[in-house]
A and B are shown apart, each in its own frame.
Chain A
Amino acid sequence: MADFINNIFGIGDSWVGYLIAALIAAVLILHVVAVGALLFIWMERKISGRIQDRLGPTRVGGKYGWLQTLADGIKLIAKEDITPDLADRFLFKIAPYVGLAASYAAFIALPFADGVVAQHVNTAVFFVLAVLGLEVFSVILAGYSSGSKWSLFGAMREAAQVVSYEVPLGMCVVVPVMICGTMNLTTIGNMQAGLFTNWLVFNDPFTFLTAIIYFTCATAGVNRAPFDLAEAESELVAGFHTEYSGLRWSLFFMAEYSSMFVVSALASILFFGGSHGPIPVGQWIGETIGGTWGLSISRIIGVGNLLLKGLIGVTVMMWIRWSFPRLRIDQVMTMCLKYCVPLAALGFIGATTWQYLDLPTANSLVGNPRYEKHEMWTEGVGVTPAADAGPASGIPDPEPHSEDKTANTDSVTVKTLPVSVVKGGER
C-alpha cells in the first residue's frame, strides 16, 4: 500500500507513504478489534441466551439488542477507575493495555485475503503466535499487581496453562507450515484455493487430527471455557481481573475477544482454506470480470470468507463455553501434557510421513493443477531446484499465487527459500 500511496503523490520511495499506509492499516485493524469485540460480546450474549432458552438482550438498539454492548461500553467508561491500595499502581494500570496491545499486534500479520494484510511478514505464523503469546503477560501482571490473593491465583494458573499449551499449539501450527513449505500466511492461504477439498484439513487424516488439536489448544490458549481457569468465577471470584473496574476491565474483554478471533482466523488460514470459500465463487467472479476490479471484488469476497470462518470458530468457542463445566487445573495440565502434546506430535510425525511417502491426499484429488502450475511458478521466480525436488521428495508442491498478483511475487522469492531448505533436510 505504501508504494501505491507514494505513486499517487509521486514522491518515490518516501517514508511518508509508509507512515500513511501504517496509519490506515492501524485504524482499520483497530476497528476490527473494537467493532469485533462489540459484535462478539453481543453475539456471546445472544448465543448464550439462545442456548439457555432465554432471549438475551432485546432492548437497546432495536429488537435484537444490537447496541447492548455499546451501552455497556459507555457504562464502563463512565465507571470509576479504582486502583486498590495494595496494588502495584504502575503495573496494575499498564496490565490491560499490554493484553490489548498484544492481541491487537497479532492482527498486523494476519492476512484477511490475498494481499489484504497490514504488513507482509515472511514468518507471519511465527509472528502471530509469538505476539499472541505476549498476552499472558497482561494476565500475570494484572494478577501480580492487584494485591489480591484471588488475582494471584488466577495469574499463576494462567502462567502454567498458557505456557504449557503453547507447546502443542506450536506443534500443530508446524504441520501446515511443513506441508506448504512456508511460514507466510498469505502463501499458505493461497495454496488452498479452489474447492474445499483443497483445504489443508483434508490433506490427510493427520492434518484433520492436527486441526482439532489446534482448536482445542487455541481455546485453552485464549482462556476460553472449559479452560477459563484464570477467571474461574466459582473458584477465584473473577480471577486476575477481580480488582479491575470500568474501562480497564473492559480492555481485558476486548483483548480476550480479539484474540479469540485471531486464533480462529489463524485456524481458518492454516487448515480451512483461508480466504477461499468452499466453492471458489470469489475466484471465478474475479477471473470473469478481470483486471483491478475483478481482483478487488475477489478480495472483498475473500475478506468476507475469512471473517465468516473466524466468526464460525468464535461461535464454536462460545457454544463450547456455554455447554461444558470447567476443568480443574491439574486436569487442564494433564490434558495438555498427556493428550495434546503426544497427539500433536503424532499429527506432526504422521503428516510428515504422509508427505514423505507421497500418499494420496484429498488436496490433489480434485483436478487442481498444482503440479503444472508449480512449474510456471518456479520458472517465474527462478528457484529451479525446488521444481524437480518437490514430487521426488513427496511434498505436494504449493500452488502459486493467482496470476494477477504482481506485487507479492517478488516477496515470494524470499518466502520459498524455506521450501528448498526443508526438502534438502528431508533428503
Chain B
Amino acid sequence: MATSKIDDPRVIEFDVRTDEMLINMGPQHPSTHGVLRLVLRTDGEVVSDVEPHLGYLHRCAEKIGENLTARQWVPYTDRMDYLAAMNMNLGWSLVIEKLLEYDLPERGRHLRVIISEMGRIASHLVAMGTYGLDLGSFTPFLYGFREREKILNLFEEACGARLTYSYLTPGGATADLPVGWTDKCRQFLNQFKEVIPELHTLLTTNSIFVSRTAGIGVMSAKMAVDYGCTGPVLRGSGVYHDLRFHGEERYTEMYEGYVFDVICADPETGEYPESNYEFHGDSLDYPEIPRQAILGDCWHRFYVRMLEVVQSVRLIEQAIEKYEATSGDWGTPIKLVQKLPAKEAYMETEAPRGQMGFYVVGNGDSIPWRVRARSSSFCNLSVTAPLCQGILLADIPAIVGSLDVVMGEIDR
C-alpha cells in the first residue's frame, strides 16, 4: 500500500533523490572570460564540484621566445595579458635589464610608472566592468569601457597601438611621451576621479551586488598563500603583500619617492587603512564595508581593485610631476639584436592581476636559451575548484569573475 511506503522515511528519501548532472561551462560561454572551460557537477542548482580545463589559448609563447631576440619577443608579451599589455611589457623589459645590468635613467623610470599605472587602471576597469556583467549588470561594463577608451586614446597617442602596445621595451620605451601628453593625462585623471563614486554607486554599494558577492567564495589568508594567489586576490584575503613595496630592489626603486597605500584590509579588524589622499577636495571616502562581507570573499576582492584604481591615480599624479621635473634621456631601447650574457635572471612585477614573473637564460647569443613566464592568473585560477564547492550555479560567474583571470596569460 502507498500509505505504508510513506510511513517508511527511507522510501521518501529515495523518492525525492535527484541525479547529478555534468555540465560543460565553456570554452564558449559568456562569463568564462575567454576560453576557460569548467566542468561542473551539479545537483539541480547546487554545484558540488568544478574542474577547470585550460589550454584553449595556448600559443607556445614561451617556446617562441626561445627563437627570437629579447626585443622581438616584446610583442608576444602583449598578447599574454592583453588587458594590461603595458604591464607585461614592463615585466619583460625589467628582466632583460636585470640580465644586462642596465640602469634606467630617471625620466624613463617616471615614464614607466605613469604608463604601467595607467595600464593598471585600464585593466581594473575591465575587471570591474566584466564583473558587473557576470552578475547581470550591463551598464557598469560600458561605464568602465568608456573610461578605458580614454586611457587607450592616450596610449595610442604615446605608441600608436590600442591593445598590443609593445611600448615599454628593454632599455626604456620605444619613444618619449609626446608633447602635451601629460596635460591630457592630467585632464583625464581629474575627470576620472569624478567617475569613481559613480562606479561605487552602481556596484560596490548596490545592495543586489552586495548580496551576490558578500560572503561568497571566502578564501582565507592561509589558503590564498598556499595556492600562490597574488595581486588583488591575495590582498582581498587580507595579506599585506604588494611587490611595489615588497618586491626586488630593481623593481621597487621605480617607485622610490612615491607615496601610495597598499590596499589591504587589516586581518584583525577587517578595516581598510585610512587614506590620506586628497580626493574630491576631502579625503578619499571609502564606501562602507557591508556587514555581510567577510574578509576574503568576492566583494573584498572587487573592493580592493576599486581602491587600487584610486591609488594608481594618485601614483600617476605624482609621476607626472616628477616626469615633467626631470629632463634628459628616457632610456635607450636595446638593439634589436643584443647579445645576452650567459646568465639567468628572474623577476616578478606587480601586474594588475598579480605577480607576473619572467625568467630568462642567456647563452651569449642574442636569442635567449630559455624563456619562461610565471602567470599570476594561473595561480589565481587554481583556487576555483576548492572555492566552488557546494555553491549555487549563479555563484560560479561571481567567483571566477572575482578572480579576474585572463586566459591569454594562463595558457600563454
B217 to chain A, nearest CB (A): 13
B142 within 8 A of A: yes
B303 to chain A, nearest CB (A): 15
A231 to chain B, nearest CB (A): 10
B:253-293 near A, CB below 8 Å: none
Q: A228-B136, A234-B31 are in contact. Are A52 and B142 (CB under 8 A)?
A: yes
A325 within 8 A of B: yes
Q: How far is the CA of A225 from the CA of B208 in the complex (A)?
A: 12
A54–B142 touching, CB < 8 Å: yes
A52–B143 touching, CB < 8 Å: yes
Binary interface profile of B, 31-44, with partner A (CB < 8 Å = 1, else 0)? 10000000000001
Q: How far is the CA of A92 from the CA of B357 in the complex (A)?
A: 52
Binary interface profile of A, 130-163, with partner B (CB < 8 Å = 1, else 0)? 0000000000000000000110010011000000
B268 to chain A, nearest CB (A): 31
- Of the stretches B58-66, B76-84, B333-341, B389-397, the one at the interface is B389-397
B30–A53 touching, CB < 8 Å: no
B143–A232 touching, CB < 8 Å: no
Smallest CB gap from A150: residue in B? B23
B136–A234 touching, CB < 8 Å: yes
Q: How far is the CA of A46 from the CA of B138 in the complex (A)?
A: 14
Partner of B132, one of A232, A325, A330: A325
Q: How far is the CA of A235 from the CA of B137 in the complex (A)?
A: 13
B198 to chain A, nearest CB (A): 10
A:211-241 near B, CB below 8 Å: 225-226, 228-229, 232-237
Q: Given the complex, which residues of A lie within 8 Å of B134, measured CB to CB? A: 234
Binary interface profile of B, 392-412, with partner A (CB < 8 Å = 1, else 0)? 111111000000000000000
Q: How far is the CA of A149 from the CA of B25 in the complex (A)?
A: 10
Q: How far is the CA of A225 from the CA of B45 in the complex (A)?
A: 19
Partner of A233, one of B30, B208, B212, B392: B30
Q: Given the complex, which residues of A lie within 8 Å of B138, measured CB to CB? A: 48, 52, 322
B139–A237 touching, CB < 8 Å: no
Q: Given the complex, which residues of B lie within 8 Å of A90, measured CB to CB? A: none
B190 within 8 A of A: no
B137 to chain A, nearest CB (A): 4
Q: How far is the CA of A327 from the CA of B209 in the complex (A)?
A: 8
Q: A52-B143, A330-B392 are in contact. Are A225 and B136 (CB under 8 A)?
A: yes
Smallest CB gap from B395: residue in A? A328
Q: How far is the CA of A228 from the CA of B136 in the complex (A)?
A: 9
Smallest CB gap from A235: residue in B? B394
Q: Given the complex, which residues of B lie within 8 Å of A51, measured CB to CB? A: 139
Chain B count of residues within 8 A CB distance of the other chain = 31
A235–B132 touching, CB < 8 Å: no
A346 within 8 A of B: no
Smallest CB gap from B31: residue in A? A234
B223 within 8 A of A: no
A235–B396 touching, CB < 8 Å: yes
Chain A count of residues within 8 A CB distance of the other chain = 30
Q: How far is the CA of A82 from the CA of B354 in the complex (A)?
A: 44
B136–A326 touching, CB < 8 Å: yes
Q: Given the complex, which residues of B lie within 8 Å of A324, measured CB to CB? A: 136-137, 206, 208
A329–B45 touching, CB < 8 Å: yes
B212–A327 touching, CB < 8 Å: yes
A7 within 8 A of B: no
B293 to chain A, nearest CB (A): 16
A327–B29 touching, CB < 8 Å: no
A331 within 8 A of B: yes
B6 within 8 A of A: no
B133–A226 touching, CB < 8 Å: no
B135–A322 touching, CB < 8 Å: no
A226–B136 touching, CB < 8 Å: yes
A354 to chain B, nearest CB (A): 30
A323 within 8 A of B: yes
Q: Given the complex, which residues of A lie within 8 Å of B139, measured CB to CB? A: 48, 51-52, 322-323
B:183-227 near A, CB below 8 Å: 202-203, 206, 208-209, 211-212
B133–A327 touching, CB < 8 Å: no
B200 to chain A, nearest CB (A): 14
A30 to chain B, nearest CB (A): 31
Q: Given the complex, which residues of A lie within 8 Å of B30, measured CB to CB? A: 233-234, 237
B53 within 8 A of A: no
Q: How far is the CA of A411 from the CA of B381 in the complex (A)?
A: 68
A:306-332 near B, CB below 8 Å: 322-331
Q: How far is the CA of A342 from the CA of B395 in the complex (A)?
A: 28
Q: Given the complex, which residues of A lie within 8 Å of B137, measured CB to CB? A: 323-326
A53–B142 touching, CB < 8 Å: yes
B:125-152 near A, CB below 8 Å: 132-139, 142-143, 146
Q: How far is the CA of A226 from the CA of B135 in the complex (A)?
A: 10
A325–B206 touching, CB < 8 Å: yes
B21 within 8 A of A: yes
A153–B212 touching, CB < 8 Å: no
- Between A235, A324, A330, the greatest number of chain B beta carbons within 10 A of the residue's beta carbon is seen for A235
Q: A234-B31, A327-B208 are in contact. Are A153 and B143 (CB under 8 A)?
A: no
Q: How far is the CA of A225 from the CA of B137 in the complex (A)?
A: 9
5 closest A-B pairs by beta carbon, nearest first, are: A326-B136, A325-B137, A234-B31, A325-B135, A52-B142
Extra 16 A-B pairs, beta carbons < 8 Å, given A234-B31, A234-B133, A322-B139: A51-B139, A52-B139, A52-B143, A53-B142, A150-B23, A157-B45, A233-B30, A234-B397, A235-B393, A235-B396, A323-B139, A325-B136, A325-B208, A325-B212, A326-B136, A331-B212
Interface residues of A (CB under 8 A from B): 48, 51-54, 149-150, 153, 156-157, 225-226, 228-229, 232-237, 322-331
Q: Can you spell out 29 A-B residue pairs with CB atoms less than 8 angstroms apart? A: A48-B138, A48-B139, A52-B142, A52-B143, A53-B142, A153-B45, A226-B136, A228-B136, A229-B394, A233-B31, A234-B30, A234-B134, A235-B31, A235-B393, A235-B394, A235-B396, A237-B29, A324-B137, A325-B132, A325-B137, A325-B203, A325-B208, A326-B136, A326-B212, A327-B211, A327-B212, A328-B211, A329-B45, A331-B212
Interface residues of B (CB under 8 A from A): 21, 23, 29-31, 44-45, 132-139, 142-143, 146, 202-203, 206, 208-209, 211-212, 392-397
